[in-house]
Amino acid sequence: MSKKFLVYTLFFLVLALGFYFTLKAVMPGYFKKRVPAISHVEPFSFTNQNGQRFTDENINGKVAVVNFFFTTCTSVCPRMNNNLKPAYEALKNTPNVLFLSFTSDPLRDSAARLKRYADSMNVNTDKWIFLTGRKDSLYKAARYSFKIDDPSNFVSNDTVDFLHSQFVALVNRKGDVVKIYDGLKPSELKTLEDDVKELLAD
């Protein structure tokens, strides 16, 4: 192997490495592993804890952490929301991040009741928003947009159809659901803060 060949090989190797690190610095998201979307959030319109209309347009360009609960729940829901609280506290001052909690019991959970619940959680409702609306629309969103409940749970008799999910969806800036967490497992939610920041940087 000639000395000239070694020099050229070394030159092109240094050139390639320089190009790689320059591209990585200029476009940090370029080499990240792309996570395939689980689903896409369909258009929706609900009412927040202040009685104001809240739609899918309100989350455009934002990263959203989404769960479903109901205020009279004494088992799954308090644990799930308490497990989400550390991530909320860490991210509450981060721009373009929202936490959305939809009720699965809209007959009881009026906007006023959700406001009282939000106050009891001691959260900023500009960042952690509580939503109510038509039951069929809420359930459709849970099952088909956010993928936190199995569509086969839907039954024809609306009086016995009840959504009680412990799962939490992570939505990217494009409205794609990219990850589902078990809200009862703090070990799964440990990565939530970093996952959100990664989506913000993407």
Binding residues: 73, 77, 164
Question: How are the residues of the chain apportioned to helix, strand and coil, as percentages rounded to the nearest 5?
Answer: 40, 20, 40
Question: Within 13 Å and on the Cβ side, how many CA atoms surround 25?
Answer: 6
Tokens 């591209």 belong to 23
Q: Which residues contact 26 (CB under 8 A, 6 or more apart)?
A: none
Q: Quick check: helix, strand or coil at residue 173?
A: coil
Distance CA 46, CA 97 (A): 19
Q: Which residues are annotated as a binding site for Cu cation?
A: 73, 77, 164
**H helix or E strand, kind and range, residue 116:** helix 111-121
Distance CA 60, CA 144 (A): 18
Q: Among candidates 180, 165, 169, 172, which has minimal Cα distance to 197? A: 172
